[in-house]
Amino acid sequence: MKAIGPRLVIATHNAGKLREIRDLLAPHGIECVGAAELDLPEPEETGVTFVDNAELKARASADLSGLPALADDSGLSVDALHGRPGIHSARWSEDESGTRDFGRAMQRVWTEVEAAGPDTGHDAHFVCALSLAWPDGAIESFEGKVHGTLVWPPRGANGFGYDPMFVAVGMDQTFAELDPADKHAISHRAAAFSKLVAALG
């Protein structure tokens, strides 16, 4: 894989996501700058898969900044909801004005799971697609998953997004109750990053 260089644009305006990615890349000596810090716009996510949207965002930031860019597209897929909210996970949190409230999103997920009936269960998984794009058009993508179950009510103040309602297989705490270092060790983002780091050599 091509070298990244010392500076990398993280193509997100999500502060929680940027913080996690910075933590994961810190051991590799790469300076991460967020898209918001460079006043880069958020492109419309028109893809039909997580990889589609990650590649779209990475290419846009690489083109506009002239630097390599890393984009993450991730979300929650719920078995009882046939994979929803999936690529629309962030949109489920938005109101008419575009303001995001994941408390509202989690309530919607739980309400729809309950409406699906007692036989559907609470199984779910998080997916993370990472795409690394260079200004010359080269691109590499990696995908990671973590399986678990949904709980209600939400628990914990760490993490972000749907973390307070998700318990990974083998754990008894939600992602939002775990110490961030413990979450990084097992998360969907960590699984995708391990593939990225392996490719970095």
Which one from 52, 63, 72, 73 is the annotated catalytic residue? 73
Q: What gap in Å lies between CA 192 and CA 179, rounded to an integer?
A: 20
- Mark whether 163 is an active-site residue: no
Alpha helix ranges (H) inside 49-164: 50-65, 102-115
- Cα R_g (the chain), whole angstroms: 17
Distances (CA, A) of 37 to 41, 43, 65, 67: 11, 16, 11, 14
Q: What gap in Å lies between CA 86 and CA 75, rounded to an integer?
A: 5
Could you list the active site residues?
73
